[in-house]
Amino acid sequence: MRGALLAFAGTVLAGIVAITYAQEIKPDRAIKYRQGALTVMGWHFGVLGAMAKGERPYNKDEAIKRASIVSEVSKLPWEGFIPGSDQGAPTKAKPEIWKEPGKFKDLQDKLIEETGKLATVAKNGDEAALKTQVGATGKACSNCHDDFRNK
Amino acid sequence: MRGALLAFAGTVLAGIVAITYAQEIKPDRAIKYRQGALTVMGWHFGVLGAMAKGERPYNKDEAIKRASIVSEVSKLPWEGFIPGSDQGAPTKAKPEIWKEPGKFKDLQDKLIEETGKLATVAKNGDEAALKTQVGATGKACSNCHDDFRNK
């Protein structure tokens, strides 16, 4: 019984520590984090975009590498949109992000779905299919920007 | 013969396109990219650091997730250190980066090695070993910062 109580107290304490940690994340840090993740995604996606537009020669291995990074990094920015981080550093994030979290989440999921397909298509080595999927992925980016990012 | 010549011409053209693309990367974009990648790495590594310091409760699944991201992202920043990007946007990068590329590369490789170990150790679920490896990884960060990053 005493052990159970101690274990319970430990769990409560751990919970308090975790909440305190979360509260200590400063908005400016969260803003810079999510911008960093989106910049990294954009950098690698940009290489695929250049291939799709013929500004850069198609290269299967490079496409696989870039698409894999885009797919993985597309999962990352979202935890940076913590409550209260609509300000604290320069940001284009619209307040709608925190007013319509369900809609925002749907658009994140759609992006992650499209970048997953992008990684798969890149591995197939079909240049035309990659081009199509680059377009679909870019559309997922702009759909979210249209609603949730200021110009 | 004509086919071979055309293929050769195509290869030359593709090479010129690629070189042109590389030349078109603006220093400020490269600076923001590498800073973004380093910020993303720091965000996830920070969670492991908080666990190691007892500021956040140890959680095996979370440690695995964070360490895996740190390991993957640690491979990314370096292509942003393109020639000429010692300026063009606010940056703490020291000119030594471009004067001692071999030494800079060694420190990148050391970091990638340590983050790889971090991902492995996290999977083992040994909290004490994770703490030790968080320390070793942090040391790889600061070793590079000492030589190549301004305060």
Q: Over the stretch A36-87, which tens digit does the pLDDT of each residue have?
A: 999 999 999 999 999 999 999 999 999 999 999 999 999 999 999 999 999 9
Quote the ipTM score: 0.86
Dist. CA B89–CA B68, nearest whole Å? 30
Q: Is the pLDDT assigned to residue A15 strictly greater than 90?
A: no
Identity of the residue in A38, A40, A80 whose CB atom sits nearest the CB atom of B76: A40
Tokens (6 digits) for B10: 């195509």
Q: Is the pLDDT assigned to residue A20 strictly greater than 70?
A: no
- Cβ-Cβ contacts under 8 Å for B21 (sequence gap 6 or more): A50, A55, A56
- Cβ-Cβ contacts under 8 Å for A30 (sequence gap 6 or more): A80, A81, A82, A85, A88
- Condensed to tens digits (0 to 9), the pLDDT of residues B9-32 reads 655 555 555 555 555 789 999 999
What does the DSSP assignment read for B21-87?
HHHT--HHHHHHHHHHHHHHHHHHHHHHHHHHTTSS---HHHHHHHHHHHHHHTTSGGGG--TTTTS
* DSSP state for residue A28 in the 8-state scheme: H
Dihedral, CA of residue A59, residue A61, residue A62 and residue A66, to nearest 10: 130
Dist. CA A20–CA A13, nearest whole Å? 10
Helix axes B60-73, A60-73, angle to 10 degrees: 140
| Pair A67, A114: CB distance under 8 Å | no
pLDDT value, residue B21:
57
Chain B residues with CB under 8 Å of A72 CB are 69, 72
Among B47, B79, B70, which Cα is nearest to B119's?
A: B70
Q: Is the pLDDT assigned to residue B80 strictly greater than 80?
A: yes
pLDDT value, residue B24:
77
- Determine whether the interchain pair B56/A29 forms a contact, defined as Cβ–Cβ distance below 8 Å: no
* DSSP state for residue A57 in the 8-state scheme: -
- Condensed to tens digits (0 to 9), the pLDDT of residues B94-148 reads 999 999 999 999 999 999 999 999 999 999 999 999 999 999 999 999 999 999 9
- Condensed to tens digits (0 to 9), the pLDDT of residues B35-65 reads 999 999 999 999 999 999 999 999 999 999 9
Identity of the residue in A17, A36, A72 whose CB atom sits nearest the CB atom of B36: A36
Dist. CA B27–CA B82, nearest whole Å? 7
pLDDT value, residue A17:
52
- Determine whether the interchain pair B50/A21 forms a contact, defined as Cβ–Cβ distance below 8 Å: yes
Q: 3-state class of A99 per DSSP? A: helix
Dist. CA A85–CA B92, nearest whole Å? 25
- Condensed to tens digits (0 to 9), the pLDDT of residues A85-137 reads 999 999 999 999 999 999 999 999 999 999 999 999 999 999 999 999 999 99
| Residue B77 pLDDT class (50, 70, 90 cuts) | very high
What is the residue type of B117?
A: K
B29 Cβ under 8 Å from any chain A Cβ: yes
Q: Which residue has the higher pLDDT, B98 or A12?
A: B98
Among A135, A136, A118, which Cα is nearest to A126's?
A: A118
Chain A residues with CB under 8 Å of B29 CB are 43
pLDDT value, residue A145:
98
Q: Is the pLDDT assigned to residue A13 strictly greater than 60?
A: no
Dist. CA B41–CA B25, nearest whole Å? 23
- Determine whether the interchain pair B43/A33 forms a contact, defined as Cβ–Cβ distance below 8 Å: yes
Among B106, B94, B103, B96, which Cα is nearest to B149's?
A: B94
Dist. CA B63–CA B84, nearest whole Å? 37
pLDDT value, residue A24:
77
| Pair A70, A107: CB distance under 8 Å | no
pLDDT value, residue A130:
98
Identity of the residue in B20, B37, B57 whose CB atom sits nearest the CB atom of A40: B37
Chain A residues with CB under 8 Å of B39 CB are 32-33, 36
